[in-house]
Structure 1
Amino acid sequence: MRITCVALLSLGLCSGLSSTLAAAVDSKPLLAFAARIAGDNARTRIVIDFEEKPEFSVHYIGSPERVIIDLPATTFAFPEADLAARGLFSDIRYGTMDESSARIVLTAIRPVRLALAEVQPNEQGGFRLVLDAEMVSAEIFADLVKKQTWTTPAAAKPEDITTAAKDDVFTVAVDAGHGGIDAGATGAASKTPEKTITLAFARVLAAKLSEQKGVEAFLTRDKDTFLSLSERVMIARQHGADLFISLHADTLAQKDIRGATVYTLSDRASDRMAENLAMRENLSDQLAGFSLQSGPPEVADILLDLTRRETQAFSITLANTVVKSFEGQIGLINNPHRHAGFQVLRAPDIPSVLLELGFLSNPEDEKLLLDEGWRARVADLIANAVVRYRTQALADGG
């Protein structure tokens, strides 16, 4: 939405403009000739194309949470629809402040920060301002507001946006599948929802992992609440996770199929069953109105980061280690290491696996999934596998 300084004054946003921007009084306004936005409720990217390189500054305001981008005098020549609010933002306004400055106001649906804010050269000439927003906790946002200065414009720096300090602790994100409005599968006999089983197992597994020397585990969700697939990955990254384990207990039409399965990411499914399971899991977001198809195709990688080859190799190593730990101890499906396009496994920098603990459509598996002793035994096996994986990864320089 285009705005003028009069409109911005009504929002209380005309104070604190950088003196650096005022130097552009006598210069020709910048031309912002194109814009695009894509994202979801965890990450959103905004890209604005300029003819000339823009100087800019970033600030944060609370109540409601807003991100302010100050620019020199700028002519916004792109259609308003190209920068319509979506993803993390409920409202986007931009326009002239005075003859020497302009401003973009991003009103967020939740606390956010710019994980990336930089100007990049375009291959065809000109420059683009790239703003990558990500969800953060209310405490982090409040800290951003408190520590910022309005006197010196500065783009986001790597040291300002680090999510977690690197240390000697091996951090594991334990992701209980489904939750809230997304109940997942249902037990054939007990009618227990998958979301309840995965959370109960996740709590046991996190406790077992945290008992291991040098290992610390946390839950992506610790109660019956809905998290989008992208939120799960973002939470893991913001906690500095070295490993991501997503837990599930699905159903199949073939009730005789039982046993655990470990999945890693691949754009091409290993078999029809893996493909069908991935498709069903990837539809979870739609239950709460989120869609992975809501952005332009050229920025789809904002939501579905391509897994780096090295990270994928570590994921496969972890999967094989878990399978070996299970062999002879608990039931495994035929070909227990499979792969498919699970969106929750697409973090580019975190080795990730999805573990189907068993199938709620099978009576024997259902009984085990509800048994506290079985959960504890399987959690011990997974914890031991993680320790062996960590030892190997450290030896390989991972």
Structure 2
Amino acid sequence: MVGPGFPIATDARLAGDNRQTRFVLDLDKTVPFRAFLLSDPYRVVVDLPQVSFHLPTGAGTAGRGLVKAFRYGLVMPGGSRIVFDLTGPARIANSTVLDAANGQPPRLVIELEEADEATFARAVGADSRMQAKPADSGPAGVPAIAAQGGLPPALRPPSTTVAVAAPPAGGPADSRPVVVIDPGHGGIDYGTQGGEVPEKNLVLAFGQALRDRLERSGKYRVVMTRDDDTFIPLGDRVKIAQKQSAALFVSIHADALPRGEGNAQGATIYTLSDKASDVEAEKLAEAENRADQIGGVNLTEEPADVADILFDLARRETRTFSNRFARLLMNDMKTAVHMHKRPLKSAGFRVLKAPDVPSVLVELGYVSNKGDMGNLVSDTWRSRTADAMARAIDAFLAKRVATVGGDKPEKPAAPRAKP
């Protein structure tokens, strides 16, 4: 849907060659924006107020000149982003918004020129000293995304903001365990695509189904890292779980194999490990860990406490809890859904790195497999799988629920400071 007052982008195109490339975005009204460069890999990022992108199908998948490809979407309620993947170092020679004139609509124009490494590095350094955030927000709400039109209602991004549950103000403290559900990807990060429905929509629909199932029991306070089509950086997802003192963090994804690499099928459950359990797990973790680069997050602004967090990841107690839940989850899920031939794996997923929150990442299936994709868009399959996962969560948190208001519930201890 189109929010009231949101600017609408109707077309986008590239022109030029490997020395000079121009990007033009047609809009229905002028907008403020900010454009900046990022390195490793070479990228140009354009931040805008929230925009409803009604671009032609496939827009951005084919590059030209200095641009390999570009992607676009919501990065937070009120803010949209366009990210250009470059073929090499370049500089922003000109960037402007043109008013409507001579029968042409308002246009955002970005002109790029080939540059040497030193010029590019100086430009990135100047940009990194500025706070990288979207331009001034427009009205609140969530725009329709490109190619969204014919999706089933359950797979359309709802018009809500990111949900972070909180106890009622002024009432007694809510002592129920907190379960954080983390639908992967979102906004500008589409995830894998095995057809008309991108991964970000599939996993959001499932995450909402699991949330609803857990909330009906009344046993837990459920927090969603995202409840709409918003991009959430990986580190922020982890921080949500820590801020909420979560008893459990469940990240939801859907995998895919490139063409020519077989036809894997079934659900897989991952826990954190410094060393991947196999090559496929390692490749998947590398792909998922690139989400911040896909979204154009400036990774040079990593918090100073990262070193201490990484040190604390080795804490055996939290990993023991995570592995225990993964086994419970596998046993319940295999009674309801088809599991991968190796259903339990491990790798270095950034989103699992909360040092004091038991965490798993569930790949519901392979969007590259016709059978799995059919399941992922099925309301019946979604409900059955959410029920199985809820049973595992019940079993894992049974002691915590039983001891609310009594003995201290079972939970990993807070990590000790680095010596």
Asked if Structure 1 and Structure 2 have the same fold, meaning a TM-score greater than 0.5 normalized by the shorter chain, the answer is: yes
| 1:249 counterpart SS class | strand
Aligned to 2:410: 397
> What pairs with 1:276-295 in structure 2 (closer than 5 Å)?
276-290=283-297, 292=299
- Structure possessing the higher radius of gyration over alpha carbons: 1
Pick the aligned partner of 2:319 from 312, 322, 325: 312
For 2:400 and 2:347, the matched residues in 1 are separated by 24
Return closer, same or farther for 1:280/1:303 CA change in 2, 3 Å cut-off: farther
Return closer, same or farther for 1:256/1:166 CA change in 2, 3 Å cut-off: farther
Return closer, same or farther for 1:303/1:181 CA change in 2, 3 Å cut-off: farther
How far the C-alpha of 1:256 sits from its partner, in A, is 1.9
2:261 is aligned with 1:247: no
What runs of 5+ residues in structure 2 fail to find an aligned partner? 1-124, 137-162, 167-171, 403-408, 412-419
Aligned to 2:20: none
What runs of 5+ residues in structure 1 fail to find an aligned partner? 1-83, 92-106, 111-136, 141-164
2:219–2:401 contact (8 Å) kept in structure 1? no
Return closer, same or farther for 1:88/1:238 CA change in 2, 3 Å cut-off: farther
2:215 is aligned with 1:171: no
> What pairs with 1:72-91 in structure 2 (closer than 5 Å)?
90=131
For 2:320 and 2:401, the matched residues in 1 are separated by 14
2:361 is aligned with 1:354: yes
2:177–2:401 contact (8 Å) kept in structure 1? no
Return closer, same or farther for 1:302/1:294 CA change in 2, 3 Å cut-off: farther
Pick the aligned partner of 1:231 from 233, 236, 251: 236
How far the C-alpha of 1:328 sits from its partner, in A, is 3.2
| 2:131 counterpart SS class | strand
Pick the aligned partner of 1:201 from 192, 203, 206: 206
For 1:392 and 1:335, the matched residues in 2 are separated by 29
| 2:179 counterpart SS class | strand
The letter for the 2-side match of 1:272 is V
For 2:232 and 2:305, the matched residues in 1 are separated by 22
Return closer, same or farther for 1:250/1:168 CA change in 2, 3 Å cut-off: same
Return closer, same or farther for 1:258/1:87 CA change in 2, 3 Å cut-off: farther
> What pairs with 1:301-340 in structure 2 (closer than 5 Å)?
301=307, 304=310, 306-307=312-313, 308-340=315-347
2:177–2:400 contact (8 Å) kept in structure 1? no
| 2:255 counterpart SS class | coil
Return closer, same or farther for 1:212/1:326 CA change in 2, 3 Å cut-off: same
Runs of 4+ in 1 over 6 A off after TM superposition: 84-89
Return closer, same or farther for 1:305/1:368 CA change in 2, 3 Å cut-off: farther
1:179–1:224 contact (8 Å) kept in structure 2? yes
| 2:217 counterpart SS class | coil
User: Normalising by the residue count of structure 1, what TM-score does the alignment of the two structures yield?
Assistant: 0.56
For 1:273 and 1:306, the matched residues in 2 are separated by 26
| 1:248 counterpart SS class | strand
For 1:208 and 1:88, the matched residues in 2 are separated by 45
2:179–2:220 contact (8 Å) kept in structure 1? yes
| 2:241 counterpart SS class | helix
User: Normalising by the residue count of structure 2, what TM-score does the alignment of the two structures yield?
Assistant: 0.53
For 2:221 and 2:128, the matched residues in 1 are separated by 32
2:185–2:232 contact (8 Å) kept in structure 1? yes
Return closer, same or farther for 1:393/1:316 CA change in 2, 3 Å cut-off: farther
How far the C-alpha of 1:327 sits from its partner, in A, is 2.0
Pick the aligned partner of 1:221 from 211, 223, 226: 226
> What pairs with 1:114-133 in structure 2 (closer than 5 Å)?
none
- RMSD over aligned Cα atoms: 3.4
For 2:359 and 2:129, the matched residues in 1 are separated by 25
How far the C-alpha of 1:277 sits from its partner, in A, is 0.3
1:322–1:386 contact (8 Å) kept in structure 2? yes
Aligned to 1:211: 216
The letter for the 1-side match of 2:325 is L
The letter for the 1-side match of 2:217 is Q
> What pairs with 1:1-20 in structure 2 (closer than 5 Å)?
none
For 2:130 and 2:358, the matched residues in 1 are separated by 30
